[in-house]
Amino acid sequence: MRILVAVDQHSYSAHVVKDVAKLAGNTWADVTLVGVGAKVANIDSPSNKSGKKHPLIKTLQIYRRSFLKHFEKEESPYEKRACKYEFIEVKRGIWEELYVCRGARKDLKIVARSGNPIKEILAQSQEDDSDLIALGCYKEGDCQWEGIINFPQKVANNATCSVLVVKEEKQIRKIVCCLDQENISQKSIEMINQMVTLYQTELEIVGLTDGTTLKPMVEKNLDAILKYYNARQIKAWIKLVDTASLESFISQEARRSMMALWMGGQSIFTKIFPRGKVDKLIQGSKSSVLLLR
């Protein structure tokens, strides 16, 4: 798993770095922290006469320290490789001095890019082949990033991978999970599993009905998901929602729960919940939003 954390210099980014560190601790993911500045050029060159670091670089270094702080130094999969000669038992009773490098089992990359933040973040996620882009946002009001209106919404709508928009300082009590009803991927179920573990919360799985009943295939899938989570000691609830009431359900639940929506190409939610509504959800939600792809 590779996670891309898009950061700027606001407090919500510090918050998302902490959350991703916890997530990475559970998943042992490769992580990229990326910051985008309008004028990131010659940041460490001698021509920088002031001798001061570029503010974005300074921020990224603070976030790197904050991320690594989450791990015990010896246990950390991101700890740098230390190489030295060690005697290793190669056969029973025979030791040989070998040059051994230990540490850094997982990759932590810190990247500063210049240009249009949306394009650069999406480009970095393509280059890294990221599974998840995580970015922060204020709890209330619009999610402005460096003056760019609806920044997280634009990233969420244009990314090809899953996107997690973490609202600052909001305790998550429940994750409401709208998985695709007929084609649920193992990857999305596991991603939800990780979120539940990360936030130590309950899970509510939504089953879409055509008014009264569930399609047999959907019912079969819900049963399988329920058994999957129950086997992992995750408290999972099921709630039936009529397709016609989905929008009001989501806007009501988004006030108090983290919303997770499956927005893959074939997903029914992509049809019911187009871009404009996703924008509204991310903007209006007081809790974090996860768009699964």
22/234 Cα distance (integer angstroms): 18
Least Å from the CB of residue 207 to another protein: 7
Check binding of 272 to another protein (CB under 8 A).
Answer: no
Among 59, 12, 157, 17, which Cα is nearest to 4's? 17
Among 203, 238, 243, 201, which Cα is nearest to 222's? 238
Binds another protein (CB under 8 A): choice among 55, 239, 274, 286: 239
Residue 228: exposed, middle, or buried by beta-carbon count in 10 A (0-12, 13-18, 19+)? middle
Between 54 and 174, whose beta carbon lies closer to another protein? Answer: 174
Least Å from the CB of residue 249 to another protein: 5
Binds another protein (CB under 8 A): choice among 40, 139, 249, 284: 249
Q: Which helix (H) or strand (E) holds 137?
A: strand 132-137
| 11-23 burial code (b ≥16 CB/10 A, e <16) | ebbbbbbbbbbeb
Using DSSP, state whether 78 is helix, strand or coil. Answer: coil
Between 63 and 199, whose beta carbon lies closer to another protein? Answer: 199
Check binding of 241 to another protein (CB under 8 A).
Answer: yes
Check binding of 110 to another protein (CB under 8 A).
Answer: no
Between 11 and 230, whose beta carbon lies closer to another protein? Answer: 230
Check binding of 136 to another protein (CB under 8 A).
Answer: no
Residues that bind another protein (CB under 8 A): 202, 204, 207, 209, 212, 214, 219, 222-223, 226, 230, 235, 237-242, 245, 249, 256
